[in-house]
Amino acid sequence: MATFGFRILHRERDSRARLGQLQTAHGTLSTPAFMPVGSQATVKGLSPEELTGLGAEMILCNAYHLYLRPGHRTIEELGGLHQFMGWPRGILTDSGGYQIFSLAPLCRVSDDGVTFQSHLDGSLHHLTPETAIQIQESLGSDIAMTLDECLRYPAPLEAAEASLARTNDWARRCRNARRRADQAVFGIVQGAHYPQLRVKAAAAVAQIGFDGYALGGLSVGEDKTTMHAAIEATVTELPEIAPRYLMGVGTPEDLLEGVARGIDMFDCVMPTRHGRTGWLFTSFGRVLIKNAQYAKDESPVDPECSCPVCRTYSRAYLRHLFLAKEMLGVRLNTLHNLHHILTFMARLREAVGQSRLAAFREQFYADREACRA
C-alpha cells in the first residue's frame, strides 16, 4: 500500500489556488498548509501535544542540525525521528543546504558536494547528494528534500546559471540514491531571481521526476514583485498533480499571495522567532509587546483571537514576562503566533474550497489599510 499520495480536491476558478490532501505514513496534511519549524527536533518552546492542539499536521526538521547533533545514526538507533521527539504526525526534513551556506564558517562547493566546517565545534564534514538522502532516510522523515546550492541575493547571472546546473545534477543524484519506499522525495527548483532560469530549472527538475517540488532561494532579500514573478514562472512548469512547496516563507501576506499562485505548502521560522523577540501577529497587524503603551493594558493581544493566550492573559502580563525574560513569556508568544498562522491557513483553505479567494484577499488588504489609517 502506498504511503504517500497527493490529490487535488478543488481548484479555484479565478486563480491557481487549489485545495488538496497530502497523504503520508503519519497522517494526512490538508493543503494549503503551513509547517512549523522544529530544526533540532523541537519547535522551540512548545511540546508535541501543544502543536497537535494548535492543529499542526506536519512540521519541518533540519537534517544539517540533526546530523551534527545528536547524529542521524543515533536517532535511527532510537527508533527514528518520530519516536525520538514524540511527534506522531508528518515530518519533512530539509537537506540542510541553506544552513551549510549560511552557518558554516568554512564552506567549499564542488560538483561532488559541499565541504563545510561545523558551527558547533569546527570539525570538517563533506556532504554529497547521496549522503544527504542517506541522512534523511536514517532520520525516517515522511518527506526528504534534495541537496541544493543556495546563493546570496542578488546573484550575478553567470553564477546563478552555474549554480543551477550543479543543483539540477545533484537532484538527479538524490533521485538515484533513494532507497526507502515509505519516504517521499521533493526536488528543489533554484534559479535565483531570474524568471528565465526558474522556468529552465522547473522543467529540468520535473523531468527527473519527484513526489513533489519545492521553490528554494526566495524570500532572501528580493522585493515582492520579484518573488511573485519567480513563483509564477516556476509553477507553470511543474506537474499539476504534484504538491508545490515554497520554502522559508511565513508572513500572512506571503502565504496569501503564494496560495493565489498555486503553492500548497509553506514553512518559516518567523512565527516562533518573532515570539522570542516579542513580535506578535494579530488580525490588525503586529504588536510589539515590549512597548510601554501595553504596561497597564488589560486587553488580550488580539480581541478576535481564540487561542489560549488571548483567552487568558493580558498584554500587560505578556509585556511583564517579556521584560523579565521569563520563559513563560516566550512560550505564550510562540503559542499565540503559531495559532494565528495556522488559523489563517485554515481560513485560506475555506476560502479556496468555496471559490471566494478573491473576496478574501480583497477583505484582507482592506482590513490592513483600515488599521493603518
Q: Are 237 and 191 in contact (CB under 8 A)?
A: no
Work out the burial of residue 231: count CB atoms within 10 Å of its CB; fewer than 13 is exposed, 13-18 middle, 19 or more buried: buried
Residue 325's Cβ-side half-sphere holds a number of Cα atoms within 13 Å equal to 0
Residue 17: name the closest of 189, 264, 242 by CA.
264
DSSP 8-class letter at 354: T
Contacts 24+ apart (CB under 8 A), 199-205: 199/233, 199/234, 199/236, 199/237, 200/164, 201/164, 201/167, 201/168, 201/234, 202/233, 202/234, 202/235, 202/236, 202/237, 202/238, 203/237, 204/168, 204/171, 205/168, 205/171
Q: Known catalytic residue: 112? A: no
Q: Which of 94, 142, 148, 264 is catalytic?
A: 94
Strands 27-31 and 18-24: antiparallel
Q: Known catalytic residue: 223? A: no
Q: Which of 148, 211, 254, 267 is catalytic?
A: 267
Output the 3-class SS for 292-344. Answer: HHHCCCCCCCCCCCCCHHHHHCCHHHHHHHHHCCCHHHHHHHHHHHHHHHHHH
**Residue positions annotated with a catalytic role:** 94, 267
